[in-house]
Structure 1
Amino acid sequence: MYVAVKGGERAIDNAHGWLAEERRGDRDVAELSVAQIREQMALAVNRVMAEGSLYDPDLAALAIKQARGDLIEAIFLIRAYRTTLPRIGASRPVDTGAMRCDRRISATFKDAPGGQVLGPTFDYTHRLLDFLLEAGAEVPEAETDEADMVPKPRITEYLGRDGLIEAEADSDAEPPDMTRAPMAYPADRALRLQALTRGDEGFVLGMAYSTQRGYGRNHPFVGELRIGAVPVEMEVPELGFAIEIGEVVLTECESVNQFAGSKTEPAQFTRGYGLVFGQTERKAISMALCDRALRWEELGEENVGAPAQDAEFVLSHADNIQATGFLEHIKLPHYVDFQSELELVRKLRREAGAADAHAEAAE
């Protein structure tokens, strides 16, 4: 047994060495630095921060390098590191209305108050390979307008003034923290949104797409999508007031959904909401669609049996780290389990063969 263990240790050490060699790649090619990943692969960094629940571009870039570009592995590394960090307090809720918008668009109003800011986006690019990037062509500097960086009013505020959209419920209750307590059902909206923002982008996107195809009766308008930096403030008991401790870049999406009304309430639009670290607009929009689909009960709607309306299904399967762990554990040694199954199959075959032989003898 000792020999087997030592042999296994050597194999694992060699596997780690081989992994490091493959990570480095061709040594005639310059090594990719963490700073390069942070600055030039920002969307991958943003995804790792969002699903890893830790806002730190440098650590996210390091995780991507260590994981050889496997973003789920990088997210796993960030989550594992996050568990080692002390928690010294909580910040005040960020005010996304004070966001300095790099990008701010609305699909509901052409002349949106505060103006449309297209910002850095693939939306209007041709999906053709740009070989100038391979050749190292000069990148032109974009023109920026300082007027675009001032805080902008929310589109939904204008609908709200006329009672055309449901009012958001105010609550002073402290929201649950799914990083410190296990998921519990039924999950309230605050908990659902936490799970969605940490959830796998592809899974949340798939759930959102399913609602648009008819499984959930949800085809919204993007009332507003905004991306930019917001200040983070923290109450300091010794000072007796809040101070700004930094800022984070966020993507926020507010969707405007189908009419709702009753004999006592006039028809009005309903909301979906998404908020994610970094420029992660596909995820934020997907979140907003899933959020709206999961609100069917509180809005008095019919559950048509759509997967996106099933909170337990969506929230239990959205987390890519949980899914990866359960999926990939089956490639680890299961020798004893398999031998047990193998012996059972052989026993069943022997019994079946004996039964057939007995039947033939009886004939």
Structure 2
Amino acid sequence: MYVAVKGGERAIDNAHAWLAEERRGDPAVPELGVAQIREQLALSVNRVMAEGSLYDPDLAALAIKQARGDLIEAVFLIRAYRTTLPRFGASQPVDTGAMDCLRRVSATFKDVPGGQVLGPTFDYTHRLLDFALMAEGEVPVAPGEPVEPAAVPHVTGFLNRDGLIQQEPASDAAPGDLTREPLELPASRALRLQSLARGDEGFVLGMAYSTQRGYARNHAFVGELRIGTCCIEMEIPELGFAVEIGEVELTECETVNQFKGSKTEPPQFTRGYGLTFAQNERKAISMALVDRALRWRELGEDNSGAPAQDEEFVLMHSDNIQATGFLEHIKLPHYVDFQSELELVRKIRAEAMAANTASQEAAE
């Protein structure tokens, strides 16, 4: 924290009070409640949970309210709060194959066991402003009868049976934890996925878009996108077995990518993978595309020099909290630094002018 002049603390206190006033807005307008944000701005809540690495819709909604809707500031608040929480242990790997899906689509197969489930999606809306939302009305209700959950095996399993898709190597090794240890390069795939999962959605989306425009020569199909709830289990040492401790909503995406083969791998399809908290499908798809681009080394591909293939560039710039901190610190007082720069520029200008004058005199 910079303390540049006396009286700065009073100014900061006044700034905090003004911020609270601006956050509240017009007192004549009813105050927005945390429950309203949680239920009606769910996609913003989901993004804050994903990038904040903390699954708690109420706290994410509170952070959004406190941050006046600034989602990056809300992510910062959630991460800061997360560091105060005790850690009791680690859960078992989540079985997404047993997910209770509310949305499940595949762009590679039309007919799949369990069926295509469109779910709540903007995909087929007309992107026209609905002015009816400005008026209070009845709560909309989706038509249809409740459907019992059906088995929804992963679509890529069909390619597995024919040996057309690369087998993912199994490992019992515990992955690293970016929330406890700094990222070191080169990073394992598990660490890369962790970094992408909590990375800024806009940045990861931009990297993914670049791969589709040719900056990685990587053409992908969405093998499967699924959103739903999964059981979380944790092994209790005193019991000697795992027990269910709750449920979380997740979004999972597996892409199927063309692969012509290399010196170490035969021609086949390969995967990109994305998994994130709650309904967050743009992020999950983007993750999968960037994940696949970063796998060039392990698949024996050539590096075309694309930004999305540069592990250091992607992972070191995807975190919005680090980026925001470094970016916004330059608006804080840098008086001493600037004065030294100012003196340096004046000295260089004086030397340049003296040299110019001397050369003119010599020419005369």
Query: Is TM-score (shorter-chain normalized) higher than 0.5?
Result: yes
Structure 2 CA distance, aligned partners of 1:276 and 1:172? 22
Cα deviation for residue 7 of structure 1 reads 1.3
CA shift at 1:126, angstroms? Answer: 0.8
The corresponding residue for 2:271 is 271
Runs of 4+ in 1 over 4 A off after TM superposition: 3-6, 262-266
What does residue 120 of structure 2 align with?
120
Kept after mapping to 2: 8 A contact 1:101/1:151: no
Q: Which residue number in structure 2 is paired with residue 234 of structure 1? A: 234
Give the AA of the match of 1:40: Q
Give the TM-score normalised by structure 2.
0.96
Alpha-carbon distance change, 266 to 301 in structure 1, aligned in 2, over 3 angstroms:
closer
Which SS does the other structure have where 2:110 is aligned? coil
Structure 2 counterparts to residues 65-80 of structure 1, below 5 A = 65-80=65-80
> Quick one: distance in 1 between partners of 2:323 and 2:212?
25
Instruction: Give the match for residue 137 of structure 1.
Output: 137
CA contact (8 A) 1:103 1:119 kept: yes
- How far did 1:89 drift? 0.5
Letter of the aligned partner of 1:343 in structure 2? E
Q: Is the CA contact 2:262–2:299 (under 8 Å) kept in the aligned structure 1?
A: no
The 8 Å contact of residues 262 and 300 in structure 2, kept in 1 or not, is answered as no
Q: Which amino acid aligns with 1:34?
A: V
Tell me the equivalent position of 1:25. Answer: 25
Matched, 1:36 2:36: yes
Change in 2 beyond 3 A, CA 1:148/1:347: farther
- Aligned partners of 2:18, 2:51: CA distance in 1, in Å? 28
Deviation at 1:147, TM superposition (A): 3.7
Amino acid at match of 1:341: E
Count the aligned residue pairs: 361
C-alpha distance in 2, partners of 1:294/1:211?
Answer: 11
Alignment-derived partner of residue 349 in structure 1: 349
Residues of 1 paired with 2:298 and 2:87: CA distance? Answer: 34
User: Displacement, 1:146?
Assistant: 4.2
Match of 1:324 in 2: 324
Q: Which residue of the partner structure matches residue 155 of structure 2? A: 155
Please list the CA deviations of residues 19-40 of structure 1 after superposition, one character each: whole Å capped at 9, or x if unmatched.
0000000000000000000000
1:220 aligns with 2:223: no
The 3 A distance-change label for structure 1 pair 140 and 336 is same
The answer as to whether partners of 1:253 and 1:285 remain within 8 angstroms in 2 is yes
Cα pair distance change 1:303/1:262, threshold 3 Å: closer
Deviation, 1:158, is: 1.1
Question: Is 1:51 matched with 2:51?
Answer: yes
- What secondary structure is seen at the aligned counterpart in 1 of 2:91? coil
Instruction: Tell me, yes or no, if the aligned pair for 1:102 and 1:148 is still in contact at 8 Å.
Output: no
Relative to structure 2, which stretch is displaced further, 176-185 or 264-273? 264-273
Gapped regions of structure 1 (runs ≥ 5): none
Once the two structures are superposed, the pairs formed by residues 161-200 of structure 1 within 5 Å of their partners are 161-200=161-200
Give the superposition deviation at 1:85. Answer: 0.8
Instruction: Tell me the equivalent position of 1:88.
Output: 88
Shift of 1:266: 4.6
Question: Separation in 2 of the partners of 1:259 and 1:356?
Answer: 62
Q: CA deviation at 1:263?
A: 7.7
Residue 217 of structure 1 deviates from its aligned partner by 1.0
Cα displacement (A) at 1:144? 5.2
**Letter in structure 1 aligned against 2:214:** G
Offset at residue 164 of structure 1 (A): 1.3
Please give the secondary structure, in 1, of the residue aligned with 2:49.
helix
Unaligned runs of 5+ in 2: none
Which deviates more, 55-64 or 3-12? 3-12
User: Alpha-carbon deviation of 1:265?
Assistant: 5.5
Give the aligned residue type for 1:239.
L
Distance in 1 (alpha carbons) for counterparts of 2:73 and 2:24: 17
Q: Is the 8 A contact 2:251 2:277 kept in 1?
A: yes
Cα distance in structure 2, aligned partners of 1:145 and 1:265:
48
Distance 1:195 1:274 in 2: 11
Aligned partner letter, 2:13: D
* 148-157 vs 13-22, which moves further: 148-157
Distance 1:262 1:80 in 2: 45
TM-score by length of 1: 0.96
- 1:130 deviation in Å? 0.2
Q: SS in structure 2 opposite 1:20? A: helix
Per the TM alignment, residue 324 of structure 1 is displaced from its structure 2 partner at its CA by 0.4
**Identical positions, percent:** 78
What code does the residue aligned with 1:187 have?
Answer: A
